[in-house]
């Protein structure tokens, strides 16, 4: 075979590494994925939202319906028009809408064949009947098209995970379980037209930021970051100044191939296709990446990390924009040819993989964390050490307080109303109609099998010390204390803050607000007005009300709770003189944490424990914040200027 070396490809020093066999494009017969046995060169203009390669389709769970869109896809003139990128190739053009639409209607000729899109444009499956939002009575706040891009993405992801948690909860008591509730949730969202960024594009995706994390591949699909739920390379046909071409738009490095990911600014990506007995071919995603090398377009890169909270789990995170710098062919471990592509990260982007590598180094060796004031501010009171760090100035720490992991009530616990007890052997089981604690929670256990909160409620009842179940019961989540590696750090303009070295999954318990319970009379004292550490259950971010699953999507009655049912509560807690890490959690008008009342050591519903849970997936080293609210009532804290910096900042809080 004649070898053709790219001018900018990696030189080969052995016979095992050969130049990519790049013949003139007119001699290459493009091989893009067929749609379930249909002709790959069908000229249908309807592009499915997701394509699944036939070779991968067999690995999906039995009975799964591929999540194709239930509506007419955007016209090719719009779907194939890439977004411009400020640092992109100078030859890249974004023509006017009318010119683009006119040109995109033409077929693109590659060799003797023609295609109309880089995705499964040949699919002729009949779209499902679109469900009416009016019939479902879906809140307009859940409709992505009515929101700004960031809100659109966050609402879609929040609704997806809420549906997935609810589906898992419904399956808990069944003998035959749904093995992939994530796929069912994704299909449900798309069949109801609840998703973001429908059209493929080159470059950044509106509403998605570098560092954003995802726990399921289909989450990448429903927000438009990466369409295929199996294949690692996504591509589309785009218009360049000298003609149309099919180029790669994103890749996912999930550990399934022999990739090299040690460099934070480079990725050696292995091509797709082939197996232990077959050479990879220059087709589909491999061909698209090769064309991106010559076209110079940016490619989104999604990397992955191990999720230690579940067996064989992965966390995907968006690492930013890259360009294909070179490509070659080499012998893989199986002895057969594998395509290799070297992608280099575009400059002046926020750190992505570098954050994960840095925090992992700290977890492996905590002494490697620089600018530590105290290795454990809790002095051993917490399950996990909480370090105190200042990278801003020379301040040696916050004002003195007594660290406590418990709440100090106005009267002894043994004088308060006791909770009912369950008599479950070993642990409380989902679907057990005799479990008293499940009955108190409306018939279902409030937490999933991995300990995440299923839905927000006016009050959650955990098992108490008199219950017969063991300490391993899934209904004892918050009373076990913190489990994430947290750090208290100095912010630049808002005092001390709280963040985590670990990624935090939505619905995960973070910490309790501890301190001294004060009565309403003392709250009206002038000294209390200067207490910046008083927690009042008055603050609700708008998204906190929509955190529960959209029950209409599952044919269930609405589970929305009003402001009256979720607060305010008569309890007031001051962490000024005593408290834990929660006292350092700052206010934000766009928070990533919400509070949830929980009872487990007494039954007085007016004085529950105030527990904090993740409102959404939170990347490592992201500050943890909740909405302090706007009180305005008797005994409330004085109003303060807000410095959260959110686009939706109210300007004031308190």
Strand partners, 612: 511, 595
Residue 308 annotated to the active site: no
> If you ran DSSP here, which 8-state letter would residue 33 be given?
P
Say how far apart CA 42 and CA 48 lie, in whole Å: 13
Among positive and negative, which fits the CA dihedral 393, 396, 400, 406?
Answer: positive
Range 128-134 contact pairs with CB under 8 angstroms and sequence separation of 24 or more: 128/68, 128/70, 128/191, 129/70, 130/70, 130/71, 130/193, 131/70, 131/191, 131/192, 131/193, 133/192, 133/193
How many Cα atoms within 13 Å fall on the side-chain side of residue 212? 22
Locus of tokens 């896809």: 73
Say how far apart CA 84 and CA 298 lie, in whole Å: 10
Locus of tokens 């499940």: 438
The beta strand positions in 241-294, using DSSP E, are 243-252, 266-270
- Tokens representing residue 649 in the block: 């900042």
B/e letters for 489-512, b = 16+ CB within 10 Å, e = fewer, are bbeeebebbbbbbbbbbbbbbbbb
Q: Which residue out of 215, 461, 513, 607 is catalytically annotated?
A: 513
Locus of tokens 């390379």: 233
53 within 8 A of 34, measured Cβ to Cβ: no
Say how far apart CA 102 and CA 81 lie, in whole Å: 12
- Torsion, Cα of 538, 544, 546, 549 (10° steps): -120
Q: Which residue out of 269, 403, 607, 628 is catalytically annotated?
A: 628
642 within 8 A of 586, measured Cβ to Cβ: no
- Of the candidates 649, 651, 648, 632, which has an alpha carbon nearest to the alpha carbon of residue 640? 651
Residue 607 annotated to the active site: no
Task: State how far Cα 178 lies from the chain centre.
Answer: 22
- The SS3 of residue 212 is coil
The beta strand positions in 532-615, using DSSP E, are 534-536, 572-574, 578-579, 586-587, 593-599, 609-614
- Give the DSSP H/E element, type plus range, for residue 236: strand 233-240
Give the residue numbers marked as catalytic. 513, 628
């Amino acid at each position: 075979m004649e070898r053709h070396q790219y001018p900018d490809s990696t030189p080969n020093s052995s016979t095992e590494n050969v130049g990519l066999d790049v013949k003139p494009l007119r001699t290459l017969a493009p091989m893009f994925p067929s749609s379930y046995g249909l002709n790959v060169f069908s000229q249908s203009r309807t592009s499915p939202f997701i394509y699944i390669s036939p070779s991968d389709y067999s690995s999906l769970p039995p009975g799964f319906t591929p999540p194709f869109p239930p509506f007419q896809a955007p016209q090719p003139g719009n779907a194939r028009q890439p977004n411009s990128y400020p640092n992109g190739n100078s030859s890249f053009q974004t023509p006017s809408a009318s010119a683009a639409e006119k040109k995109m209607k033409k077929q693109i000729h590659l060799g003797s064949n023609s295609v109309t899109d880089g995705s499964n444009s040949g699919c002729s499956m009949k779209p499902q009947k679109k469900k009416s939002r009016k019939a479902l009575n879906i809140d307009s706040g859940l409709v992505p098209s009515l929101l700004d891009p960031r809100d659109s993405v966050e609402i879609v992801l929040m609704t997806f995970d809420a549906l997935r948690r609810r589906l898992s909860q419904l399956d808990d008591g069944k003998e035959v379980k749904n093995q992939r509730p994530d796929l069912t949730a994704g299909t449900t969202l798309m069949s109801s037209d609840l998703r973001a960024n429908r059209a493929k594009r080159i470059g950044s995706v509106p509403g998605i930021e570098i560092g954003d994390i995802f726990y399921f591949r289909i989450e990448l699909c429903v927000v438009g970051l990466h369409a295929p739920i199996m294949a690692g390379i996504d591509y589309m046909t785009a218009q360049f100044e000298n003609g149309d071409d099919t180029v790669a738009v994103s890749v996912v490095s999930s550990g399934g191939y022999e990739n090299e990911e040690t460099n934070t600014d480079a990725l050696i990506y292995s091509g797709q296709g082939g197996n232990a007995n077959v050479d990879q071919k220059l087709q589909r995603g491999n061909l698209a990446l090769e064309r991106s090398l010559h076209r110079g377009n940016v490619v989104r890169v999604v990397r992955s990390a191990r999720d230690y909270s579940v067996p064989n789990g992965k966390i995907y995170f968006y690492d930013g924009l890259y360009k294909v710098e070179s490509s070659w062919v080499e012998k893989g471990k199986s002895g057969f040819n594998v395509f290799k592509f070297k992608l280099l990260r575009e400059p002046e982007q926020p750190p992505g993989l570098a954050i994960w590598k840095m925090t992992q180094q700290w977890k492996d060796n905590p002494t490697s964390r620089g600018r530590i004031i105290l290795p454990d501010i809790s002095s051993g009171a917490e399950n996990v050490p909480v370090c105190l760090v200042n990278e801003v100035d020379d301040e040696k720490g916050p004002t003195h307080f007594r660290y406590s992991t418990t709440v100090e009530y106005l009267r002894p616990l043994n004088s308060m109303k006791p909770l009912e007890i369950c008599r479950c052997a070993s642990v409380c089981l989902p679907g057990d109609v005799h479990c008293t604690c499940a009955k108190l929670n409306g018939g279902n256990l409030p937490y999933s099998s991995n300990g995440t909160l299923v839905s927000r409620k006016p009050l959650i009842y955990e098992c108490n010390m008199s219950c017969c179940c063991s300490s391993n019961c899934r209904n004892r989540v918050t009373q076990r204390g913190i489990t994430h590696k947290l750090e208290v750090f100095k912010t630049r303009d808002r005092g001390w803050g709280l963040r985590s070295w670990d990624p935090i999954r939505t619905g995960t318990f973070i910490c309790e607000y501890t301190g001294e319970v004060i009565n309403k009379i003392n709250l009206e004292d002038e000294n209390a007005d200067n207490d910046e550490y008083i927690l009042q259950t008055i603050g609700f971010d708008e998204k906190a009300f929509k955190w529960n699953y959209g029950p209409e999507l599952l044919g269930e009655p609405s589970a929305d709770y009003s402001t009256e049912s979720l607060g305010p509560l008569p309890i007031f807690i001051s962490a000024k003189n005593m408290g834990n890490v929660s006292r350092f959690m700052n206010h934000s008008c766009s928070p990533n944490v919400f509070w949830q009342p929980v009872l487990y050591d007494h039954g007085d519903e007016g004085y529950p424990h105030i527990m904090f849970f993740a409102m959404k997936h939170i990347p490592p080293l992201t500050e943890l914040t909740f909405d302090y609210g706007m009180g305005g009532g008797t005994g409330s804290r004085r109003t303060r200027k807000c410095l959260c910096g959110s686009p939706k900042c109210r300007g004031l809080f308190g």
